[in-house]
Structure 1
Amino acid sequence: MLPTKTTGSRGQSTIFGKLLDCRLFWAAYVPCDSQHKDAVQLTLEQIDVIRRFTEQYHPRLTLCTSSEDIKAAYKRHQLCSLIGVEGGHSLAGSLAVLRTLYHIGVRYLTLTSTCNTPWADCSHADMPGKKAEHGGLTNFGKSVIKEMNRMGMIVDLSHVSVNTMRDALEVSKAPVIFSHSSAHALCNSTRNVPDETLRKLALNKGVIMVNFYSLFLTCKEVSTIADAVAHINHIREVAGVDSVGLGAGYDGINYVPQGLEDVSSYPALFAELIATGKWSVDDLKKIGRVQFPAEAERIRDEFKKANVPPYEDVMPKQKDNNCTSQANF
């Protein structure tokens, strides 16, 4: 699966015959400098763009909001458009906004982008010389995870700090994803996932979708298809075959592996994996068909059966802000 962005996108498309599902996850992304300003409006505008071009290219593209929609589209040979939001700053600290995003079709949320939110630390907190603002998730941040579980929205941990990863994995009852990250053991970028977290991810039955940005594969501007294979194999060895996916991020990166320049190179990637002797065709079907929407829906149904009401937590006010109304309702 290869994520794509609308100001960039995180798309998952089908190239290698029937090994990959026909799905495209669009990440509605707005810059961090919109935080505490107009992030919600800008996010809604990005989602509007996704929905409009999905309608424009219908029936080749079709909007999908459930695992059943994905199955139906696959049978009709259609490409599923699914919507994600990259960056918890798009919530403006409101669970009501989170619920509204779900109602208009958003099915995953990346907890942070390249900035902390008032309730979660991003990966920059793990950089040398940097200091964490929250030490992971705040109590409100944990409520965000619980509400996502309750609705069936997928928790995405790419871009977050290691402590945020830890807290989210402790709280989430549903499998989480890393939509576009690689293995920290092979490249110590703070955007990659440490082995300890990979082992916790396996227990959570979550998935890490390997990013093909050279700076995440080799920590340099140059990489090859063999480097991508090394990350995939390492994650398989640590977390298991069920926890590996593909999250290339081609529309958001500027240094790509030689021999893996775009999705047309996927046959070569699968051939390289088979050549290692560690992958069967059935294994490759798993790497192309990640079932996390169905698992999130299963947990949602458990919450519904238990009559769990919406979480109503309110984030403590952080600071005076001229862009925020002081009116009480």
Structure 2
Amino acid sequence: MSTQSIHDTAIVVDGLIIAKWGRDLFEDMRRGGITAANCTVSVWEDFQATVDNIVMVNGLLRDNADLVRPVRSTRDIVAAKEEGRTGILLGFQNAHAYEDQIGYVEIFKQLGVGIVQLCYNTQNLVGTGCYERDGGLSGFGREIVAEMNRVGVMCDLSHVGSKTSEEVILESKKPVCYSHCLPSGLKEHPRNKSDEELRFIAEHGGFIGVTMFTPFLKNGVNSTIDDYCEAIEYVMDIAGEDSVGIGTDFTQGQDAQFFEWLTHDKGYARRLTRFGEIINPKGIRTIGDFPNLTEALMRRGMSERVTRKVMGENWVRVLRDVWGE
């Protein structure tokens, strides 16, 4: 079977996309053969603004139902594959939208939010992000984690501080994830995870989505698809073939103003980081280039069985463990 045929028949899951919503994006998802994607609907927004974002996304899903469908369960991911559409799973990159209301966890679950990153770079009511002195998981945060476990929302720790992450991993009764991260063993960066952190989450039943965001890759904007494959292989050597998947962090279509909003605390306060030029690795510049990833992994010696796991089957299994369906 050719690598294209393997890609065409595989379940392909992207664990994090924060690209600009619209039909162009959905068409590129179909070109790339994406079965399902965790798409961000909240970063710095509060409850009301996040609800407004979901209203907007629901309208887009209705208007583009020939290309996309909502995902509430792993059955929906399988159905998306059968229908030749891309399943859209809603996710947060910050628990800020929960405000100080534990009941909002279930409300947003009912609206389709299945993955929530507990902190985005800085401190919130739950814990601490990766750009501040880490005070760990708060008492309120423990209640939020328990409620996420109860209603079936996955805890994401990609932008979360090391101590807070460790405490969430120990606190959660369900698997948690780094939906989009890279190893600091290949490049030292506040957003990258040490070998010890990668091993710890895997040993506790957690999951790692490997990102291709070039500011965090070894060769920066000069990175290629092979540099990305190297990062996947590095993480797999630590975590094992069942605990690793894809989480691209694709930002295609976003403008400079969007990145200014992302890189300032609360979207407007102190600057947290500068990304510089944003360009995806050579060979996988857009979501539509996803078949090149299947080809590259297999060219580098990954078996078809393991490639299918990494491209999406692992994500489906761990999401089923968290969602219960």
TM-score per shorter chain, which class?
A: 0.7 to 0.9
Q: TM-score, normalised by structure 1?
A: 0.79
Note if contact 1:6-1:29 (Cα within 8 Å) is conserved in structure 2: no
Do structure 1's residue 283 and structure 2's residue 306 form an aligned pair?
Answer: yes
- Over residues 179-210 of structure 1, what are the superposed CA-to-partner deviations in whole Å (9 max), with x where a residue is unaligned? 21111211111111211121122223322111
Question: Which aligned segments of 4 or more residues in structure 1 are displaced greater than 4 angstroms?
Answer: 6-17
- Aligned-pair CA distance for 1:293: 1.9
Larger radius of gyration: 1
Task: State the distance in 1 between where 2:52 and 2:42 align.
Answer: 10
Task: State the distance in 2 between where 1:94 and 1:240 align.
Answer: 37
Q: Which consecutive residues of structure 1, in runs of 5 or more, have no partner in the other structure? A: 126-130, 302-329
1:54 aligned partner? 61
Do structure 1's residue 121 and structure 2's residue 145 form an aligned pair?
Answer: no
Do structure 1's residue 293 and structure 2's residue 300 form an aligned pair?
Answer: no
- The SS at the match of 2:37 is strand
Q: TM-score, normalised by structure 2?
A: 0.80
2:40 aligned partner? 27
2:164 aligned partner? 164
Q: Quickly say closer, same or farther: Cα 1:224–1:59, change in 2 above 3 A.
A: closer
Task: State the distance in 1 between where 2:298 and 2:20 align.
Answer: 35
Q: Quickly say closer, same or farther: Cα 1:81–1:284, change in 2 above 3 A.
A: same
- Over residues 116-168 of structure 1, what are the superposed CA-to-partner deviations in whole Å (9 max), with x where a residue is unaligned? 1022100102xxxxx33x2x111211221111111111111111011111011
Task: State the distance in 2 between where 1:201 and 1:207 align.
Answer: 7
- Aligned-pair CA distance for 1:250: 1.6
Q: Quickly say closer, same or farther: Cα 1:163–1:14, change in 2 above 3 A.
A: farther
Alignment of 1:1-329 (within 5 A): 1-2=13-14, 3-5=16-18, 13=29, 22-31=35-44, 39-125=46-132, 131-132=133-134, 134=135, 136-218=136-218, 220-251=220-251, 254-277=278-301, 279-289=302-312, 290-291=315-316, 292-298=318-324
2:273 aligned partner? none
Q: Quickly say closer, same or farther: Cα 1:91–1:293, change in 2 above 3 A.
A: same
Q: Quickly say closer, same or farther: Cα 1:65–1:271, change in 2 above 3 A.
A: same
Task: State the distance in 2 between where 1:49 and 1:177 align.
Answer: 27
- Aligned-pair CA distance for 1:232: 0.3
Task: State the distance in 2 between where 1:116 and 1:219 align.
Answer: 30
Length, aligned pairs only: 282
- Aligned-pair CA distance for 1:27: 0.8
Q: Which consecutive residues of structure 2, in runs of 5 or more, have no partner in the other structure? A: 1-12, 253-258, 260-277
Note if contact 2:93-2:118 (Cα within 8 Å) is conserved in structure 1: yes
Task: State the distance in 1 between where 2:31 and 2:186 align.
Answer: 27
- Aligned-pair CA distance for 1:77: 2.3
Note if contact 1:6-1:28 (Cα within 8 Å) is conserved in structure 2: no
Q: Which has the higher contact order (CA 8 A, sep 6+)?
A: 2
Q: Quickly say closer, same or farther: Cα 1:181–1:223, change in 2 above 3 A.
A: same
Q: Quickly say closer, same or farther: Cα 1:16–1:206, change in 2 above 3 A.
A: farther
Letter in 1 for 2:103: A
Note if contact 1:214-1:220 (Cα within 8 Å) is conserved in structure 2: yes
Task: State the distance in 1 between where 2:115 and 2:47 align.
Answer: 16
Letter in 1 for 2:299: A
| Identical positions, percent | 25
Task: State the distance in 1 between where 2:224 and 2:66 align.
Answer: 36
Note if contact 2:30-2:85 (Cα within 8 Å) is conserved in structure 1: no
- Over residues 206-241 of structure 1, what are the superposed CA-to-partner deviations in whole Å (9 max), with x where a residue is unaligned? 221111111111273331222111110000000011
Task: State the distance in 2 between where 1:4 and 1:245 align.
Answer: 14
- The SS at the match of 1:250 is coil
Note if contact 1:188-1:219 (Cα within 8 Å) is conserved in structure 2: no
Task: State the distance in 1 between where 2:88 and 2:299 align.
Answer: 33
- Aligned-pair CA distance for 1:24: 2.4
Task: State the distance in 1 between where 2:289 and 2:80 align.
Answer: 24
